[in-house]
Amino acid sequence: MAANNNRLSPRQKMINLMYIVLTAMLALNVSSDVLNGFTQVESGLTRTNDNVEQRNAALLESLRSFSEQNPDKGLPWYEKAAEVRQFTDRIYREVDSIKYLIVSKADGKNADIHNIVNRDDLEAAAVIMLNPANRRGESLRHDIDAYREYLASIVTDPVKRVNIEAALSTDPAVAPGELAGTTWEEMKFDNQPVVAAVTLLTKLQNDIKYAEGETLATLLANVDAGDVRVNELNAFVIPQSRFVMRGGRYQANIVLAAVDTTQRPAIYVNGSLLANDQGVYETVTGATGNFDYSGYLEVPHGDGTVTRHDFSSSYTVIEPTATVSATMMNVLYAGIDNPISISVPGVANANVSATMSNGTLTRHGDQWIARPANVGQEAVITVNAEMDGRRMDMSQTRFRVRKLPDPTPFIIYTDAQGNRERYRSGSGGIAKGTLRQSPGIEAAIDDELLNISFNVESFETVFFDSMGNASIERSNGAAFSPRQLDRFAKMRPGQRFYISAVKASGPDGVTRTLAPIEVIVK
């Protein structure tokens, strides 16, 4: 085996070991002056943090006060500021807890971060922050990254954003000639005296408060960011409506954009000065048609000059009118609820009322229900509307009142898919098994306009033998009787029978006899 030419002599090994020990001793020899310097810096940073906190609290209070005075404009920005404060407090308390853990590791359970005993302890900070079991330093770095990105997403000023990102940077440190850098937490807490680690964490809290303050200042500035600055004066006429019913009132606001509330302009309409200084022009309409009017505003300025701003507008006066329509058809049916729509153009539904002769008219929200009483007698619906504090008659609409038409009887059965079906007279036929399983017959008006069910009170089935003799089976009610079902079982395909004398009553209380049903057995 070849000899190792790189083996060191015992003397050389001793020299190297002494060098290592000396280096370690030098590293451990932190002077008291340096430790005192860290203590003074930490105290100064703590006072600075208190001052910055007072400034940030004042900014937050300004946002809160403005949001109470003008919620529409200020509340969204105050809510965002409250989120920033909540995020800041959470990460600030996290740093406070880490400072206490480091000092406790060095001084024991009676540790006081404002009076550190073992200030030169070089292990406590590393044990707390660089322990691979809990990775507390790495967790703090991630929280700072999240906080920095959150604030940067709010701050729109690029200079402030760059300053915040620099103050809260957690980039690794790369020494010249090295490829891999030292992580932020290793750079801050590896082989660091306790007093230095606490000072660095207090500096971090200072950076956090600074970033919060810049963000709150941005949010406060954003309160007025949406305000529009004007450099031109224009006269505007703002009518409540350009359409007015005869007898009603036309009203319009005549205003000047960017008007000074302490010195309102003089307003002239059709050559006459308005009697009020609010710019409200009002006139009573006595005839229908289109009407134009014009005028001008005189605006005094601080130098004594007066400028004139012309305006013009128009309005239309129409006859009183109302819209009344029967939802089902152009008649009303006696004895049932008839849905009615009633409206007056330009008038809120709450200000519209109506009455009806020959029956009752009730309101359900925006819909009306008409229930006529006597067939053959007209029902007249009268509509009123409240306008400008006065109740006016809008219109009268007359309806013919008819009784309900007779319903159609049919056999109820269920098809192979479980769907409910109806067999009517003239249909192609019905299977005997389906017929025997049918619960009976029903009657209803089910055309495109009406959909009303009737109550079947009784009916008869009429069967004919080969000699043409008829036999009748009667059922009291809507269901097939046992004798009727027994006759169904004896029928052969192609035979037929009739359902007649069907008596049914509707919601109007009238009992009527319906047309017969011809039933063909398949």
Whether residue 200 sits in one domain with residue 95: yes
66/182 same-domain check: yes
Q: Which of 49, 30, 46 is nearest to 198 (CA)?
A: 46
pLDDT for the residue 190: 87
- Asked if residues 482 and 488 have their Cβ atoms less than 8 Å apart, the reply is no
- Give the total number of structural domains in the chain: 4
The C-alpha atoms of residue 322 and residue 316 are separated, in whole angstroms, by 17
The residue ranges of the chain whose pLDDT is under 70 are 1-41, 174-180, 224-234, 240-248, 256-263, 301-305, 318, 321-329, 448-449
3-class secondary structure, 291:
strand
Residue with tokens 């310097």: 37
Query: In the listed set 254, 283, 318, which residue is the last one of a domain according to the structure?
Result: 318
Describe the strand order of the beta sheet including 249-256 as a list of residue ranges: 235-239, 249-256, 280-284
Q: What is the pLDDT of residue 242?
A: 57
383 and 430 part of one domain = no
Note whether residue 301 is domain-resident.
yes
Q: Residue 153 — left, alpha, or beta (φ > 0 → left; ψ -120 to 50 → alpha)? A: alpha
CA distance 492 to 480: 19
**DSSP code string of 258-291:** T--TTSPPEEEETTEE-SSSS-EEEEE--S-EEE
How many Cα atoms within 13 Å fall on the side-chain side of residue 219?
32
Q: Is 230 a domain residue? A: no
Element (H, E) at 489: helix 482-489
DSSP 117: S
CA 340 to chain centre: 33
CA separation for the pair 343, 38 (Å, rounded): 82
Whether the model pTM is above 0.75: no
Residue 2 lies in a domain: no
Nearest C-alpha neighbor of 358 from the set 338, 341, 340, 381: 381
Domain-terminating residue out of 295, 318, 341: 318
**pLDDT given at position 37:** 59
Q: 264: which DSSP letter?
A: P
What pLDDT is attached to residue 298? 86
Residue 229 included in any domain? no
Owner of token pair 């340096």: 34
Question: Which neighbouring-strand residues pair with 383?
Answer: 354, 395
What's the pLDDT score for residue 5? 44
Q: What is the pLDDT of residue 380?
A: 93
Percentages helix, strand, coil for the chain (3-state, rounded to 5) are 35, 30, 35
Residues 332 and 356 both lie in one domain = yes
Is 327 part of a structural domain of the chain?
Answer: yes
Side by side, which strands form the sheet with 272-273?
243-245, 306-318, 289-300, 266-269, 272-273
Same domain, 379 and 494: no
- Which one, of 445, 453, 443, lies nearest residue 499 by Cα? 443
Structure tokens at 448: 């495109």
Angle at alpha carbon of residue 129, lines to 123 and 132, rounded to 5°: 100
Q: Token match 């000092």: residue?
A: 103
Same domain, 263 and 348: no
Residue 399 sits at φ, ψ, to 5 deg, of -125, 145
Would 149 be classed as within a structural domain? yes
In a domain, 353, yes or no: yes
The residues facing 473 across adjacent strands are 461
Contact (Cβ atoms closer than 8 angstroms) between residue 353 and residue 392: no
**Which residue shows structure tokens 């801050």?**
188
Does residue 46 form part of some domain? yes
Range of the domain at 443: 408-520
- Give Cα 51 distance to the centre of its chain: 41
Q: Which two tokens stand for residue 101?
A: 């853990």
- Give residue 191's region: left, alpha or beta (phi > 0; psi -120 to 50): left
Specify whether 166 is located in the same domain as 60.
yes
Residue 370 confidence (pLDDT): 94
Q: How far apart are the first and last CA of the chain?
A: 112
**Contact between residue 477 and residue 440 where contact means Cβ atoms under 8 Å apart:** yes
- Assess contact for 139 and 146: CB atoms under 8 A: no
Q: What is the predicted pLDDT for the residue at 258?
A: 66
CATH at 304? 2.60.40.10
Last-in-domain residue among 318, 335, 352: 318
pLDDT given for residue 71 in this prediction? 86
Residues 388 and 310 in one domain: no
How many Cβ atoms are within 10 Å of 309's Cβ, its own excluded?
Answer: 17
Is 487 within 8 Å of 463 (Cβ atoms)? Answer: yes
* CA–CA dist 255, 266 (Å, integer): 11
Residues 6+ apart with CB under 8 A from 288: 246, 317, 318, 319
> What is the per-residue pLDDT across 123-161, written as a single tens digit (0 to 9) for each?
888 888 888 888 888 999 999 999 999 999 999 888 999
Does one domain contain both 421 and 397? no
Residues 435 and 492 both lie in one domain: yes
DSSP string over 330-345: SSEETTS-EEEEEE-T
Q: Please state the three-class secondary structure of 127-151 as a single string.
A: HHHCCCCCCHHHHHHHHHHHHHHHH
My answer on whether 369 and 308 are in the same domain is no
In a shared domain, residues 178 and 83: yes
Q: Please give the DSSP secondary-structure letter assigned to residue 47.
A: H
